[in-house]
Chains A and B, each alone.
Chain A
Amino acid sequence: MSADIETQVPGAAGSATPLTLKERLARTERGISETGYYEADLSLKESDPITFEVLFTRLLQTLTNAREVALSISASPSTREQGEIIFGLYTREGDAICLSTGLMIHVHTMSRAIKWMIENDYETLVGFDEGDYFFNNDSFIGGGHPSDQMLITPLFIDGRLEGWVGGLTHVTETGAVEPGAMGSSFTSRFAEGLIMPCVKIGSGDTLRKDLDILVDRGVRSSTSWLADNRAKLTGNMIVREKLKELVADVGLGFYRKICREYIEDTMRATREKVRRSLFPGRYREVAWRGVTLPGQESLLHSPCELVITRDGRLELDYDGLPSARRQPFQATLPLFEGMLFNGLIQNVFYDLRYNDGTFLAIRLNVPLGSACNPDNIQLPTTLWGPAYGGMQACAQAVSRAYYAQGYREEVHASGPLTSGNLAGGVDQYGRLFGSQCFEFASSGMYATSFMDGLDTAFSDFNAEGDMGDAEVWEQQMPQIWLAREIRRDGGGFGKFRGGNGIHSLYLIPEGTEMEMGSFGSPPIFSTAGLMGGYPAASLRVWVGRNTNLSQMLSQGLDLPNGEGLHTELPDFVSEVEAEWEYVPGQNYPARALPPESLFSVVSGDGGGYGDPLERRPEEVLRDVVDGLSSERTALDVYAVVFTRDGAQLIDGVDAEATQALRAQHRRDRLARAVPAREYKARVRERLIAGDIPAPAAALYRDVLRFSAKWAAEFRTFWDLPDDYEVP
């Protein structure tokens, strides 16, 4: 193999003097923009397809090994238990060449951080040397929120910077106003804790002690942050040393060229996959979120327009997003790009090489100043709300494009919300702690066009979701699980029901000092169904203070342990005397809770697919017997009538009664229906009269001002005056 091969950046002439990284980045971006290519040809692939494959296998295995090692060292439950960790190899310009398995969201967020350093003259102002380590958790630069922490090291070959290696983990404590880093009360970025924007924290393969001390004194419990830095350092070193061996084998010029070809090859494959899989057209979807802060209760929406062209172009337009504000439910552009990338990989490009070729092949518009591309770095971007919605809406649009093309096996309803539990204080070992419990990474999965969503299995932001064992969480956080159960009736109803999420009931134990909170979504249906399927249930929190648990124990009574069979009020609320607080939605800013308090949270559930009246009655029976669905749902939603044995226990389906009830349900539907024109006219009247719920009114006022495109379409669709504003 020749070491003399040089890259052929489209639209660029050779240069006699070495380019700075900044010049090289600008040249590459200009070349892509002008030609549509990342690399002008695939000559190495075409001349030697075997070596092309063999080298990629080596790169992939190297990154995967690094990830496995880092997983063993990590001290973050979200890393170890949920696998929120990824390693990537990048070109000199910061474009991802190859990635380990793991959290695909951060493929491109690390790329953003590398480019940010290059664009901000780090090459001359800070300097890049072999053995340097750059830490970033500034989400405006790269990553999703301060919990997402990346460590990037330059890859030097023969004294020249030839690329980058990056590792990212999600840590559970950042010294934010609320413990556990992801509080729902933040109205400023400065509430999010310690933020370090691409800081050189190590050189000579050694991390700086003074910065360890900074972290140690800056957060409640520094272990996960500092141990994860060591995990990433180790992983980066493994990749770097293996890369040196690989380059020694093939030659530097060959390495440079083949890396660019991997990206170009993926760009081309991305377009080809789109062309073959998705029916050309313009698809529009929207997903919903909400904001509940004191004095601020409003909705957020994520309108997505997906355009598929006949030649395989995929364009996404999010013009119509609300504006960025002083609330935590928004995302930086790097994160939004990462979420979309993640969703598209899971839904469409799962069988390609995972690198920036896919990202470069897609056209994306996210208006500056919107809730997914804030132009003010003082704003918090903790909880991503509309970015998550943007990914859901995109996935829905893709499902319809698949359906139109005939790929039914890829069609599914919306995936579950992310939620979580936060806690801090002094743990059972007398240590300070602050942490997130991410057991809800195993939420209910969406229903597909051919099967029910899996219960307690899946997370839309990480396909390799896992809730971990309660014993491991209790070792990390002092709360006691009195119940951990499948949330009955959580998944959206449908011919195929959405997967149910988790319900957990925590007890604050004696001997600890704890504050506890949670994050998720306000009480709206945020996870849509598809093709007649129902949305997933909304979330909620119950908090019980000053309970009579001690008294119950002393009387030999059973302690509460679940939601029970009643749909109106959970059993634990009925059984325990306490000052109960019910919070619709899941946003509960962390507050001190006395020992023996109870805290009940639920995870997201999957959307349903198809008309519930088409669900096989035997499946409904099975769900009721297994405790996954209630009898009331079986009767009211699925219209299934059961037979009972002598002890009045359900023992089968009454087929005749079920058929009759379903027929009645269909007649009732027809009776309730109105023509679309009439419906539209009614809504128009309400809009003109200002008869809109306050949160929706706040959203529409904002978007009508912020997005001219959306405003014009809204006014046209509802036949409103050109100067219409929400009264």
Chain B
Amino acid sequence: MSASRPVVCYTDVGGTFTDCFVVTENGDFALGKAPTTPADIAEGFHAALRMAREHLGLTEQEFLGGLEVIGYGATTVLNALLTRSGGKPGVLVTRGFEDLLTMERGKQSWVTLSRVDRIHPVTHRRQPPLVPRTRVRGVGERINSVGAEMIPLREQDVLSGVDQLLAAGADSLVVVFLWSFLNDGHERRTKEIIEAELARRGLSDIPVFISSEISPTLRELPRANATTIEAYAGPSTLRALAKLEGDLKAGGFTGDLQVMQSAGGLAPARHVRAVDTAMSGPVGGVVGTRFIGELYGFDDLISTDVGGTSFDVGLVSGGFIGIDREPVLAGLLLSLPMMEVHSIGAGGGTISRIDALTGRLVVGPESAGAIPGPVCYRKGGTEPTVTDANLVLGYLNPAGLLGGKVNLDAASAADAIRTKIAEPLGLSIEEAALGIRRVIDTRMKEAVSGLVSLRGSRMEDYALLGFGGAGPGHLCGYSEGLPLKAVLTFPYAATFTAFGAASADYEHHYHRAVNAVVPPAAGDDALADVGRRLTAAWVRLEEQAVEQMEREGFARDEISLRHLAMVRYGKQLNDLITPMPISRAHTADDVRAVLAAFEDLYARVYAKGAQFPQAGFEIFEVGLVAAAHKVKPWLVKSPLADEDAREARYDERPAFWQGEWQPTQRYDWDLLRPGNVVAGPAIIEALTTTLVVPPSRAARVDEYRTVWIEE
């Protein structure tokens, strides 16, 4: 390949593979893939970069020296949590709450379970706490629910607690006091005392984390979890990032290593908090979806990512990506904003079986995973999977996947489906395989329509993007019958998440507690008082955001700010993240505008009949999103050729459609040209994915090589 300067590189370190995606100044893409090396993430990282670099035919200096942005996403924090291989934090909590991390919340014992296991209590389990009870100490102090001091801080408790925690082997210290997000005075003073004491002991390298800095939001357990995770996995994660950045700079890279955050958006590795990066994996897909939306002028989009074990759905509504404010990470409840991605157990490796009691066909949520994998992989799998069904139906190339690197055994797949599904149901093998597909496609489709209706949106407003290795194979199935504006997929569907991550902006999310209760029929004075509180909180957030982003090298005029308020009706327990029409609320009318924005959103998300203004309103938190533009990948526009796709044709292969085997044209995705239209039934194969086009649908390639699925 001729050398063209690489501009943007994004590397996603997954559990099994590390994927690298590079865009050059010509708009060409280069991919790198290497096994992830958990013992030293850098090894797999550099191997993936090397593969992409070699694909471009560049030296290391040419490659790293040319790149303007290197983005990075990793599951380092998640892995540390799953394997309980982090540090040894010691925790100081409000006296009386010393059991907080061991009693946790009941929800943490079942939140990650399937529907059946949730209702079957003998399957519920507790994970070992990140911090054992023996490394927790109480401190006499109390702030109340309106932010007032109720019990003064007992400084002697802090000193004795630190002494005992250090004696117990703590390598970092965490402070979590109740209501500290409303009044952080006690936590800040405690931090001062601890740092002075550590300095006195010559232990200033022991980091101190306070919850009002890490996660200043309501709910003590999620706040404690977030703060403890930062202490538990943060120091090692940040050390690894610093080493990685050092390696890159030594190789000629002149920029800052940028890390993907769970809420979307990149941030410099030197300034990021580890806990904010914990769920970067699925983020790229949604960010990329928004990027594609901007290209085509779609404000409302659905991202759907079909992998081996899960089907991940995310929404972009009105150009905004949904944020989950109470996410679950490795079974721990958090109160940090993370991109909203709903997952169900449905993918290529999903296992199908016949229920012994009812004789019903059950597909998922269990997965055969990479090992033992589908039966056709011949790695020990014995239970028929969705991939096996696809192979039996002729949708996957029996010669193998990844250009023959993965051999497939169609006979074994057929045999498994025959004995385990078809015969018990009295169906033919093909009918059974089709049944597996129908059930899995229905589950995916219901997950999509469920999320759209959950957000009160109309399906007609949305374009749906399908990606992930198994996405194009099921896209037509799970989008069938949905009144969508458009259905799109891509030749680079299998690496779309890395592409998407490369398209992210620099972004930080900030939030801050306020105490703003608007009673029913509030007068102007009460409203104006609420306005003052909101404004004061936004100003503080703006100062924080600008200070941080300027430190990261952005000029003030490069930073865009988006103001948010988390609003709910009186005494409700959920609030809505409401984008604000204003950035200051000086008058009662300004506050009315805030509340009107909330009421409009509420009616759209739920129903007009669900509005409840007579209960008054509550705003206990405001937010701010600060962003700065970053150079992004760009898709090269090519002139449209005619619709005839004959140059991309391979051969015909029988595939099972509508109850019968039909000769089906096979295409090479790489050879399809802009303008080409492929009418179903057809199979369009790329190296890393296969697009299945049924008889009633067609695939049209546009000038960006994006494929539009048409009726």
- Which of the segments A251-259, A301-309, A370-378, A480-488 contacts the partner chain? A480-488
Shortest CB-to-CB span from B603 to chain A, Å, is 11
A559, B446: Cβ atoms closer than 8 Å: no
B357, A104: Cβ atoms closer than 8 Å: no
Interface centre among B95, B119, B132, B142 (most CB of A within 10 A): B119
B115 at the interface (CB under 8 A from A): yes
A480, B144: Cβ atoms closer than 8 Å: yes
A80, B574: Cβ atoms closer than 8 Å: yes
A445, B607: Cβ atoms closer than 8 Å: no
A57, B442: Cβ atoms closer than 8 Å: yes
B124 at the interface (CB under 8 A from A): yes
Q: For residue B110, which residues in chain A have a CB less than 8 angstroms away from its CB?
A: 463-464
Give the A interface residue count (CB, 8 A): 108
B628 at the interface (CB under 8 A from A): no
Query: Would you list which residues of chain A between 221 and 256 have a CB under 8 Å from chain B?
Result: 221, 223-224, 226-227, 230-231, 233-234, 237-238, 242, 249
Q: For residue A476, which residues in chain B have a CB less than 8 angstroms away from its CB?
A: 571, 573
Q: A350-B116, A471-B220 are in contact. Are A466 and B105 (CB under 8 A)?
A: yes
Closest B residue to A55 using CB positions: B442
Interface string of A454-481 (1 = CB under 8 A from B): 1111110001111111111011101011
A205 at the interface (CB under 8 A from B): yes
A68, B118: Cβ atoms closer than 8 Å: no
Q: For residue A104, which residues in chain B have a CB less than 8 angstroms away from its CB?
A: 119
Q: For residue A556, which residues in chain B have a CB less than 8 angstroms away from its CB?
A: 152, 154
Shortest CB-to-CB span from B394 to chain A, Å, is 18
Interface centre among A269, A412, A502 (most CB of B within 10 A): A269
Closest A residue to B342 using CB positions: A68
A265 at the interface (CB under 8 A from B): yes
Interface string of A427-447 (1 = CB under 8 A from B): 011010000000001100100
Q: For residue B435, which residues in chain A have a CB less than 8 angstroms away from its CB?
A: 49-50, 53
A101, B118: Cβ atoms closer than 8 Å: yes
Interface centre among A72, A101, A346, A448 (most CB of B within 10 A): A72
Interface string of B73-111 (1 = CB under 8 A from A): 000000000000000000000011111101111110110
A726 at the interface (CB under 8 A from B): no
- Which of the segments A22-30, A58-66, A176-184, A534-542 contacts the partner chain? A58-66
Interface centre among B220, B356, B360 (most CB of A within 10 A): B360
B105, A352: Cβ atoms closer than 8 Å: no
A54 at the interface (CB under 8 A from B): yes
A200 at the interface (CB under 8 A from B): no
Closest B residue to A232 using CB positions: B610
- Which of the segments B233-241, B447-455, B589-597, B699-707 contacts the partner chain? B447-455
A391 at the interface (CB under 8 A from B): no
Shortest CB-to-CB span from B120 to chain A, Å, is 4
A722 at the interface (CB under 8 A from B): no
Q: For residue B140, which residues in chain A have a CB less than 8 angstroms away from its CB?
A: 558-559, 561
B570 at the interface (CB under 8 A from A): yes
Q: For residue A74, which residues in chain B have a CB less than 8 angstroms away from its CB?
A: 572-574
A206, B572: Cβ atoms closer than 8 Å: no
Compute how far the CA of A89 lies from the CA of B299 in the bound complex, rounded to whole angstroms: 35
Closest A residue to B446 using CB positions: A61
Compute how far the CA of A104 lies from the CA of B481 in the bound complex, rounded to whole angstroms: 33
A77, B573: Cβ atoms closer than 8 Å: yes
Q: For residue B221, which residues in chain A have a CB less than 8 angstroms away from its CB?
A: 469
Shortest CB-to-CB span from B460 to chain A, Å, is 13
Closest B residue to A443 using CB positions: B106
A627 at the interface (CB under 8 A from B): yes
Closest A residue to B455 using CB positions: A69
Query: Would you list which residues of chain B between 577 and 613 have a CB under 8 Å from chain A?
Result: 605-607, 609-612
Q: A75-B569, A273-B357, A346-B120 are in contact. Are A454 and B609 (CB under 8 A)?
A: no
B472 at the interface (CB under 8 A from A): no
Query: Would you list which residues of chain A between 529 and 560 have a CB under 8 Å from chain B?
Result: 553, 556, 558-559
Compute how far the CA of A89 lies from the CA of B443 in the bound complex, rounded to whole angstroms: 19
Cross-interface CB contact of B105 among A75, A276, A467, cutoff 8 Å: A467
Q: For residue A470, which residues in chain B have a CB less than 8 angstroms away from its CB?
A: 97, 178, 220
Cross-interface CB contact of A57 among B97, B120, B443, cutoff 8 Å: B443
Interface string of B214-227 (1 = CB under 8 A from A): 00001111100000
B485 at the interface (CB under 8 A from A): no
How many A-B residue pairs have C-beta atoms within 8 angstroms? Tell me: 268
B272 at the interface (CB under 8 A from A): no
B150, A480: Cβ atoms closer than 8 Å: yes
Q: A230-B609, A233-B609, A502-B103 are in contact. Are A410 and B122 (CB under 8 A)?
A: yes
Cross-interface CB contact of B425 among A49, A234, A464, A483, cutoff 8 Å: A49
A321 at the interface (CB under 8 A from B): no
Shortest CB-to-CB span from B226 to chain A, Å, is 13
Shortest CB-to-CB span from B187 to chain A, Å, is 14
B439, A57: Cβ atoms closer than 8 Å: yes
Q: A428-B144, A475-B145 are in contact. Are A272 and B571 (CB under 8 A)?
A: no
Query: Would you list which residues of chain B between 374 and 403 have a CB under 8 Å from chain A?
Result: none
Cross-interface CB contact of B142 among A69, A345, A480, cutoff 8 Å: A480
A561, B572: Cβ atoms closer than 8 Å: no
Interface string of B596-640 (1 = CB under 8 A from A): 000000000111011110110000100000000000000000000
A509, B150: Cβ atoms closer than 8 Å: yes
Q: For residue B222, which residues in chain A have a CB less than 8 angstroms away from its CB?
A: 469
B439, A234: Cβ atoms closer than 8 Å: no
B145, A471: Cβ atoms closer than 8 Å: yes
B450, A455: Cβ atoms closer than 8 Å: no
Query: Would you list which residues of chain A between 59 and 118 have a CB under 8 Å from chain B?
Result: 61-62, 64-65, 68-69, 71-77, 80-81, 101, 104
Q: For residue B658, which residues in chain A have a CB less than 8 angstroms away from its CB?
A: none
Closest B residue to A348 using CB positions: B120
Shortest CB-to-CB span from B135 to chain A, Å, is 11
Compute how far the CA of A429 lies from the CA of B134 in the bound complex, rounded to whole angstroms: 38
Compute how far the CA of A561 lies from the CA of B95 in the bound complex, rounded to whole angstroms: 7
B357, A469: Cβ atoms closer than 8 Å: no
B571, A75: Cβ atoms closer than 8 Å: yes
B423 at the interface (CB under 8 A from A): no
B293 at the interface (CB under 8 A from A): no
A456, B103: Cβ atoms closer than 8 Å: yes
Q: A54-B442, A455-B103, A484-B96 are in contact. Are A627 and B133 (CB under 8 A)?
A: yes
Shortest CB-to-CB span from B513 to chain A, Å, is 11
Closest B residue to A465 using CB positions: B106
Q: For residue B109, which residues in chain A have a CB less than 8 angstroms away from its CB?
A: 454, 457-458
Compute how far the CA of A698 lies from the CA of B682 in the bound complex, rounded to whole angstroms: 80
Q: A72-B606, A471-B218, A485-B99 are in contact. Are A50 and B434 (CB under 8 A)?
A: yes
Closest A residue to B110 using CB positions: A464
Compute how far the CA of A540 lies from the CA of B593 in the bound complex, rounded to whole angstroms: 51
A-B contact pairs, 26 of them (CB 8 A): A50-B431, A53-B362, A62-B450, A64-B450, A74-B572, A75-B571, A76-B573, A206-B609, A223-B570, A223-B571, A226-B615, A233-B610, A249-B481, A265-B358, A410-B122, A415-B121, A454-B124, A454-B125, A455-B126, A471-B145, A484-B99, A485-B99, A553-B151, A561-B96, A626-B102, A626-B132
Known interface pairs A223-B570, A463-B118; 9 further A-B residue pairs with C-beta atoms within 8 A, sorted by A's residue number: A61-B450, A72-B574, A234-B609, A269-B357, A346-B120, A351-B357, A442-B105, A465-B106, A469-B105
Q: Give me the 6 closest cross-chain CB pairs, A-B, nearest first.
A: A442-B106, A561-B96, A483-B96, A61-B446, A50-B435, A80-B573
Footprint of B on A, CB under 8 Å?
45-46, 49-54, 57-58, 61-62, 64-65, 68-69, 71-77, 80-81, 101, 104, 205-207, 212, 221, 223-224, 226-227, 230-231, 233-234, 237-238, 242, 249, 265-266, 268-269, 272-273, 276, 345-346, 350-354, 409-410, 412, 415, 428-429, 431, 441-442, 445, 448, 454-459, 463-472, 474-476, 478, 480-486, 502, 505, 509, 553, 556, 558-559, 561-562, 625-627
Footprint of A on B, CB under 8 Å?
95-100, 102-107, 109-110, 115-122, 124-126, 132-134, 138, 140, 142, 144-146, 150-152, 154, 157, 178-179, 218-222, 355-362, 425-427, 431, 434-435, 438-439, 442-443, 446-447, 449-450, 453-454, 456, 481, 517, 519, 569-574, 605-607, 609-612, 614-615, 620
